[in-house]
Structures are given as structure tokens and as C-alpha cells.
A and B are shown apart, each in its own frame.
Chain A
């Protein structure tokens, strides 16, 4: 793992010094991280999502503009941004205007501490893991704001459902992450990655299998995947949007650029979930032959594919079932996972 954070690398490249120079380097690094995530989202939202869903339902999907229909990304961006903005009567401003910014911004912001490999990590504070979870949960504030401020009954229901869902699955998510911290003994994300990469699980025919926590504790990995699906609000846990029940939930009254921001925020959030899973359970940017950043991209796209797969393959659960699964199932299982992991670690003394 590289020890130098991205701002220092950029400062060295540009040859700038002093407080101002370093601040500029940090701004550039932050812009780079933001651009990387926006680019991935641009591929995921208008193009990959359609292609994946089309493959599952045996259709062709976008293929007219550019190779494999990739030109759709630009066309869609222009099309959505140039839509007329219709702001309905009686909305609660400025909450109505702030909600999309909160949603998209908070998801992007959390990438500040994610180690993306090849030296792309903006900052590496000791409380990295807690920071990521704190930022990821701000999104539900944005959803509630948007749902309430829209002055629409569908939106209100969607916003309230989003909060109910997020508080039900937040605790299993964090407790499962805590069971990983039991192994690592640190919350610093670069350390968590390094420990996974540098520990050998088994050596099969001369090939060293690193001790990724998905291999060490598959039960925690499965729990985390499910809780993460609920956190990003994808099937089977997409009740806050539930197109067949409440139109589009919290985003019913949003149009034009506001809708783009909601859409963008959701996809960045899915990638954030993927980045947390990759960092905690899949060895972050670690992998053979290819550079770290490529491996990181492969891993978070694998998680993205998983969410889209679930979207196509699994029916939605009802809201009361969802609360039941969260509080009576996931919470109990995550406590069991934490206690058992601690006990096994203590008894075997690994």
C-alpha cells in the first residue's frame, strides 16, 4: 500500500509548497476523486443499468448512438439537464431545493477516505470507517427533506419509509463492520486493507490466498451485503420508491436537474456501498497483476452488478415485512455474528 496520500503526490508533481500550494493540491485531489466517481456514475446510470436490465429480460436496450450505445450517456445528460423545471404548488422552500444537493453531496463526500488503490486516497484519518458510515447516513436526511417538502402524499410516504428502512438496517450494517474491526484492531481504512492483503489465509498449489474478510468470515459478508442493499434502497428493499405502490416515493415531484441529482445521488450511494464492501471484505484495491485502481473498479462494479441483479431477480418485500426482517432477523443475526466472532477470536487466539 502506498503511504503518501493523493494531495501530497499532486503537490510533488506540481512542485508547489507552503500552505496555499498544499491547499490547491488538496482541492485538485478532491476534484479528481469527485470526477472519478461522477464518471463511474455516468456509465452506470444511463447506460450500464439499462444494458444489465435488458440482458436479464432478454431485450437489446440502447444501441443507436455510438459503439454499444455509449453515446446515450452524453445525450441523456443533455436531455435531462435541459428539461423544464416544474416546481409544484405549496412546496417548502428552501428544503425542497436543498434535499437533492444533500443527497448527491453526502454520497460523494464519503469517498474522501476510501482507498482506491494506485495512491488515490484523499485522506486517511484514524477514524476512517466511522467517518464513512456517518456520511453515508446523511442521505436519509436528504430523502426525508425531499419527501416532506414536496407537499405530496406519495413523497411523504416515501420519505417516511426511507427513514424507517435506514434506521432498521443501519445497526446491523455497523455491527457487522464492527466484527471486522475485531480482526483489524483499527478503524483506519488503509490499515484494514493492508491487514487483509498481508495476511495469508491458505496457500493452494503455491498460490497465496490473501485473508480477505469475505473468506475469513463469510457469514458477516453475507449479512453486510443484505444490509447494504437495504441501505441503498434496492430490491428486495426498494419500498421507499416502490413504483407500483407510491409512484416514485420521495422523488415524485422532482423534475429536471433536481431529478438528475436524486438519480445521481442514488447511484453514487450504490458505489459507496460497493466501496465499503470492497474495503472491508474484499481487500480493497488489492489483487494480482493489475494496478490497484483497476482492481478497486472491478470490485465496486461487481457489487453494482449484484445490486442490479437483485433488482431484476428478487421481488420487493412489503414495508411491514421489511421492518420485521430488519429488527427481528438482521439485528439478532448481527449481534450473534459479533459475539461469536469475538468468542472464536478469543478462544483460538489467532
Chain B
């Protein structure tokens, strides 16, 4: 039978196990509501505002880079699978198998180097970095 049905069965099991644990817990745990118990934890201070705020995610550009590289790994995988078979074929040289992928990876690495130079690939633009870029 199709192996994906078995995999689907494990998907079922791996949802049932957490749900089962939650149900067991719901049966045996106490409920003692008290005033202030449900307050958001802010190191025992009175909470100020909620967490639905405008937030600098710091890595918006990095996330874009990630998308590019993630798609690129999808394109690399088929090449790795056929690599040795392609080398073993008659009349196919190393250059013909390897060079296109080198060019492909080369383009990506140039992109990474450019992003790096632009200071995109970091968590926060530190003052030291700002000084360095303005002095250039």
C-alpha cells in the first residue's frame, strides 16, 4: 500500500498524543481563579501596554535573502541526486556537469557578498557600523 498513508497515520498519532495529554491534564488539574493571577508576566511589575505593538523585526532583509537561498536549495537538490550518474555517463565531462552549478552558485554568492557589504546581514546596525559606512 502507499507509504504516504502510513505517514498520514503518524500525522494522526502525533496530533492525538498532545491532545490526549491536554485532555488528561484537563481532568486532573485544579482551577483556582484569583485576582491578578492572569496578568501578563513582566518580571512582577504592573504590565504596561500589550505586546501587539509596532516592532522592528530587524531581519526583514535577511528574511528576503532566506527566501532566495531556500528556493536555491530546492534547485540544488535535483542536481546532487543525478550528479554521480551524470558523471558516469558516456561522453559527459566534468565541466559539463559541474560548471553550470558553479555559475549558479557563483551568482548567489555575489548576491550574498553585495548584501554583506550593504550591511544587511546583521541583527542591528550598530553605531560602529554606521561610522564605518559613512567614512567609506
Decide yes or no: A171 and B69 within 8 Å by CB, A84-B29, A125-B3 being known contacts: yes
The answer to whether the Cβ of A226 comes within 8 Å of any Cβ in the partner chain is no
The answer to whether the Cβ of A303 comes within 8 Å of any Cβ in the partner chain is no
CA gap between A181 and B121 in the complex, in Å: 28
CA gap between A19 and B12 in the complex, in Å: 18
Chain B: interface residue count, which band? 35 or more
* Distance between B52 CB and nearest chain A CB, rounded to angstroms: 7
Interface string of A116-136 (1 = CB under 8 A from B): 000000111100001100000
Q: Indicate if the CB atoms of A30 and B83 lie closer than 8 Å.
A: no
The answer to whether the Cβ of A187 comes within 8 Å of any Cβ in the partner chain is yes
Q: Indicate if the CB atoms of B73 and A151 lie closer than 8 Å.
A: no
- Please report which residues of chain A, range 97-144, place their CB below 8 angstroms from some CB of chain B when the two chains form the complex: 100-101, 104-106, 108-109, 111-113, 122-125, 130-131
Decide yes or no: A151 and B6 within 8 Å by CB, A82-B28, A261-B18 being known contacts: no
* Distance between A346 CB and nearest chain B CB, rounded to angstroms: 4
Q: Indicate if the CB atoms of B3 and A5 lie closer than 8 Å.
A: yes
List 17 contacting pairs A-B, 8 Å CB cutoff, sorted by A: A6-B6, A29-B6, A88-B39, A90-B40, A131-B7, A148-B51, A160-B55, A167-B66, A179-B80, A181-B77, A183-B84, A256-B29, A261-B21, A261-B22, A264-B18, A342-B80, A342-B101
The answer to whether the Cβ of A81 comes within 8 Å of any Cβ in the partner chain is yes
**CB closest chain-B residue, reference A178:** B80
Interface string of A70-107 (1 = CB under 8 A from B): 00000000000111111111100000000011001110
The answer to whether the Cβ of B132 comes within 8 Å of any Cβ in the partner chain is no
**CB closest chain-A residue, reference B3:** A123
**CB closest chain-B residue, reference A77:** B21
CA gap between A30 and B16 in the complex, in Å: 11
Q: Which residues of A contact B24 (CB under 8 A)?
A: 81, 257
Q: Indicate if the CB atoms of A122 and B10 lie closer than 8 Å.
A: yes
CA gap between A275 and B124 in the complex, in Å: 35
**CB closest chain-B residue, reference A159:** B51
CA gap between A6 and B59 in the complex, in Å: 44
Q: Indicate if the CB atoms of B66 and A170 lie closer than 8 Å.
A: yes
Q: Which single member of B13, B57, B122 contacts A320 (CB below 8 Å)?
A: B122
Q: Which single member of A26, A106, A174, A257 contacts B6 (CB below 8 Å)?
A: A26
The answer to whether the Cβ of A305 comes within 8 Å of any Cβ in the partner chain is no
Q: Which residues of A contact B46 (CB under 8 A)?
A: none
Q: Which residues of A contact B58 (CB under 8 A)?
A: 160, 164
Q: Indicate if the CB atoms of B41 and A164 lie closer than 8 Å.
A: no
Q: Indicate if the CB atoms of A122 and B38 lie closer than 8 Å.
A: no
Q: Which single member of A27, A183, A324 contacts B9 (CB below 8 Å)?
A: A27
* Distance between B82 CB and nearest chain A CB, rounded to angstroms: 7
Q: Indicate if the CB atoms of B21 and A81 lie closer than 8 Å.
A: yes
Q: Indicate if the CB atoms of B59 and A101 lie closer than 8 Å.
A: no
CA gap between A257 and B32 in the complex, in Å: 16
CA gap between A5 and B2 in the complex, in Å: 11
* Distance between A257 CB and nearest chain B CB, rounded to angstroms: 3
Q: Which residues of B contact A (CB under 8 A)?
A: 1, 3-7, 9-15, 17-19, 21-22, 24-26, 28-32, 37-43, 50-52, 55, 57-59, 62-63, 65-66, 69-70, 73, 76-77, 80-85, 87, 94, 97-98, 101-102, 105, 109, 112, 116, 121-124, 126
CA gap between A328 and B113 in the complex, in Å: 9
Interface of A is mostly: helix
Interface-located stretch among A31-39, A49-57, A217-225, A283-291 = A31-39
* Distance between B59 CB and nearest chain A CB, rounded to angstroms: 5
Q: Which residues of A contact B5 (CB under 8 A)?
A: 23, 26
CA gap between A328 and B51 in the complex, in Å: 32
Q: Indicate if the CB atoms of A342 and B59 lie closer than 8 Å.
A: no
Q: Indicate if the CB atoms of A320 and B17 lie closer than 8 Å.
A: no
Q: Which residues of B contact A175 (CB under 8 A)?
A: 73, 76
Known: A109-B10, A346-B98. 5 other contacts (CB 8 A): A81-B29, A83-B29, A257-B21, A322-B123, A335-B105
The answer to whether the Cβ of A347 comes within 8 Å of any Cβ in the partner chain is yes
Q: Which residues of B contact A154 (CB under 8 A)?
A: 41-42
* Distance between A62 CB and nearest chain B CB, rounded to angstroms: 22
